[in-house]
């Protein structure tokens, strides 16, 4: 795997917070999920150096995960949070702390930060609704089945459910949306990297899930999000997702 040092792109505080702010959509039956907010409060109050950051993450997750993989998981989870629901004011405040680097991904994250600094939560909620919910349906339908077949609840969802069963991952009982929602797939990738469903997955297992359930369609979705007529705050979010998945594709191809 390429040494993708996302410390260059993500402010430490937002990384720590997003890692801790779990959706908890999926669990491995009989196990306790890691990384909840209360367990991270102590180290969220400090700003240690990157090596200490990594040690804190690893202690919290109780697994041995390389620092670049912790950063990958943080960005997967950041995107999952933003696409799973409208961000809360606290999350918008954290997004304003993102810096900008002279790289395409760094510049896109900087644009998200600038949008967050002047965002109105009510306007973002309305934008999210127009994009993804709408009356009948939103401008975009962020599900793998729809992108790959033109319909919801089709074969891509069936295959995903089988793969989740094979991984021993169960959906939380109160989750009503189909599991092939983009936010859910990004959340699962973060969990696989961090070992939140048991032991940390191998790079091969991560690649298999990515190749099967994200690679065929997610980049198209993010490009559509960038170009969506009703997108304002979410336009640079689309750019971040597209650029990050390009990095992941390249890294997996070289592993």
Instruction: Specify whether the CB–CB gap between 169 and 69 falls below 8 A.
Output: no
Domain covering 6-254: architecture: Orthogonal Bundle (1.10)
Residue 220, classed as helix, strand or coil, is helix
Q: What is the pLDDT of residues 223-245, one digit of tens each?
A: 999 999 999 999 999 999 999 99
Q: What is the pLDDT of residues 122-154, one digit of tens each?
A: 999 999 999 999 888 999 999 999 999 999 999
pTM as predicted: 0.82
Q: What is the pLDDT of residues 55-79, one digit of tens each?
A: 444 444 455 777 778 888 888 988 9
Helices (DSSP H) in the chain: which residue ranges? 12-20, 37-44, 50-61, 67-84, 89-95, 104-117, 121-132, 144-149, 155-167, 182-194, 203-213, 218-227, 234-254
Q: Is the pLDDT of residue 113 over 60?
A: yes
Of 212, 210, 213, the closest CA to residue 246 belongs to 210
User: In this structure, which long-range contacts are made by residues 230-235, counting pairs with CB atoms below 8 Å and at least 24 apart in sequence?
Assistant: 230/127, 230/130, 230/131, 230/139, 231/127, 231/131, 232/115, 232/123, 232/127, 233/115, 233/116, 233/119, 233/123, 233/124, 233/127, 234/82, 234/127, 234/128, 234/131
Q: What would the two tokens of residue 38 be?
A: 């209360």
Alpha carbon distance 195, 186 (integer Å): 14
For all residues of the chain together, what is the average pLDDT? 79
Burial class, 1, CB count within 10 angstroms (exposed 0-12 / middle 13-18 / buried 19+): middle
- The domain segmentation of the chain, as residue ranges, is 6-254
- Comparing 131 with 85, the larger pLDDT belongs to 131
Alpha carbon distance 107, 96 (integer Å): 13
Q: Side-chain half-sphere of 50: how many Cα atoms within 13 Å?
A: 12
């Amino acid at each position: 795997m390429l040494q993708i040092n996302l410390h260059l792109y993500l402010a430490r505080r937002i990384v720590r917070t997003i890692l801790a702010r779990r959706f908890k959509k999926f669990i491995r039956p009989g196990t306790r999920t890691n990384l909840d907010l209360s367990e991270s409060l102590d180290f969220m109050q400090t700003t240690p150096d990157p090596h200490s950051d990594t040690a804190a993450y690893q202690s919290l997750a109780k697994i041995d995960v390389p620092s670049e993989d912790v950063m990958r998981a943080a960005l997967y989870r950041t995107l999952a949070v933003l696409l799973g629901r409208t961000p809360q004011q606290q999350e918008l405040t954290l997004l304003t702390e993102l810096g900008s680097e002279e790289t395409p991904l760094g510049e896109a994250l900087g644009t998200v930060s600038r949008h967050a600094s002047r965002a109105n939560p009510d306007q973002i909620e309305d934008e999210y609704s127009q994009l993804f919910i709408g009356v009948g349906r939103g401008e975009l339908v962020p599900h793998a089945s729809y992108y790959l077949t033109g319909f919801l609840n089709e074969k891509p969802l069936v295959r995903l459910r089988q793969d989740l069963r094979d991984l021993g991952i169960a959906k939380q009982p109160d989750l009503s949306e189909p599991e092939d929602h983009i936010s859910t797939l990004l959340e699962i990738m973060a969990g696989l990297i961090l070992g939140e469903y048991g032991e940390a997955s191998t790079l091969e297992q991560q690649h298999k899930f990515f190749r099967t359930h994200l690679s065929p369609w997610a980049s198209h979705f993010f490009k559509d999000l960038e170009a969506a007529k009703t997108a304002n705050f979410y336009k640079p979010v689309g750019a971040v997702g597209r650029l990050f998945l390009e990095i992941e594709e390249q890294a997996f191809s070289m592993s």
